[in-house]
Amino acid sequence: MAFSHHYLLIFALCTRYAESADPIAQYCNEFSNTTTPEMTKNIDSVLTKLVQNTPQTGFNLTEFKTEGTTLLGLAQCRGDVPSENCSTCLQTAAKEIRKMCPNRVDARLWYEYCYIRYDTTNFIGDFDMDLRVVYYNVEEVTDPKTFKKTLLEFVKPLGKVALEPDSKGFAKGEIKLSDSVTLYALFQCTFDPSKYFCEVCIEAAKEGFRYICENKKGCRVIYSNCYSRYELYPFFFPN
Ligand SMILES: *[C@@H]1O[C@H](CO)[C@@H](O)[C@H](O)[C@H]1NC(C)=O
Ligand SMILES: *[C@@H]1O[C@H](CO)[C@@H](O)[C@H](O)[C@H]1NC(C)=O
Ligand SMILES: *[C@@H]1O[C@H](CO)[C@@H](O)[C@H](O)[C@H]1NC(C)=O
């Protein structure tokens, strides 16, 4: 486990905003080792590779080994994001993650369209539910009881779709709530060989929808291993 404290960060925002401009969550592990000049070079090299290699498939892992240490980098774009937008997002993320965490070897940065992370400890297979970020629209729905019931019923099977072998941990969907209102939801697991981690993470995200997002018109629940979001407006790329 990379850190043992329990983090719960809640950001509130008013309404719609530029989807891709600002990070939605960030984490710089102040308990991790400080960077040496050599490690700084390794980090830069891993980030450069991630920016190059990720947009084609939407996911990449890159390792950099030097005597005694391994630096592991991961990048992932949201499953519906086209490669050029994935690339733009990662270019920004790779710059910002260095500014946000210049002196440590464990950093994570989430944008709406992409997620980037590096660490000198191997986090693959690390079942890490400690870091949770909830990001919601402060506006509330007018019919909380019906809305919550519909939301939870809708995301139940949607979360299962993300676990199907062909889904690669990604699922999105929409449902009409009335003639003029549609609910959009999305789940994505960070690439990980374990379906079990994905399942537990999505379950936790759904609990977040139920107990933290409450009656908000839109909400995101983010863990290191999965991302989930619902809104009453379309936020996916058309495909
Ligand atoms: C990362 O990208 C490189 C270069 O395209 C590729 O060889 C490698 O298989 C990718 N790794 C993963 C885990 O996708
Ligand atoms: C996606 O990328 C294209 C090409 O760079 C750009 O024109 C478009 O504005 C981007 N869309 C979003 C929502 O960022
Ligand atoms: C942190 O630095 C110490 C001393 O250089 C080293 O022994 C240890 O392996 C490092 N830990 C990690 C997680 O890289």
Per-residue confidence in pLDDT tens, the chain, 239 aa: 333 334 444 444 433 444 557 898 899 999 999 999 999 999 999 999 999 999 999 999 999 998 788 999 999 999 999 999 999 999 999 999 999 999 999 999 999 999 999 999 988 877 788 888 898 988 999 999 999 999 999 999 999 999 998 899 999 999 999 999 999 999 999 976 578 889 999 999 999 999 999 899 999 999 989 999 999 999 999 87
Give the Cα-Cα-Cα angle 138, 190, 40 (nearest 5 degrees): 100
Phi/psi-derived region of residue 125, left when phi > 0, alpha when psi is between -120 and 50, beta in every other case = left
Q: Which of 22, 77, 85 to mutate to test the pocket of ligand 2 (most atoms within 8 A of CB)?
A: 85
Q: Give dist(CA 215, CA 19) in Å, integer.
A: 22
pTM strictly above 0.95: no
Do residue 225 and residue 138 come from a single domain? yes
Which residue, of 119, 148, 180, is where some domain finishes? 119
What domain range includes position 95?
Answer: 19-119
Which residue, of 71, 92, 119, is where some domain finishes? 119
Residue 47 phi, psi dihedral angles, 5° rounding: -65, -40
Ligand at minimal distance from the CA of 235 is 2
Whether residue 194 has its Cβ less than 6 Å from ligand 1: no
Question: H helices of the chain, where?
Answer: 37-57, 83-100, 144-161, 195-211
Report yes or no: 78 and 113 within 8 Å, Cβ to Cβ.
yes
Do residue 142 and residue 197 come from a single domain? yes
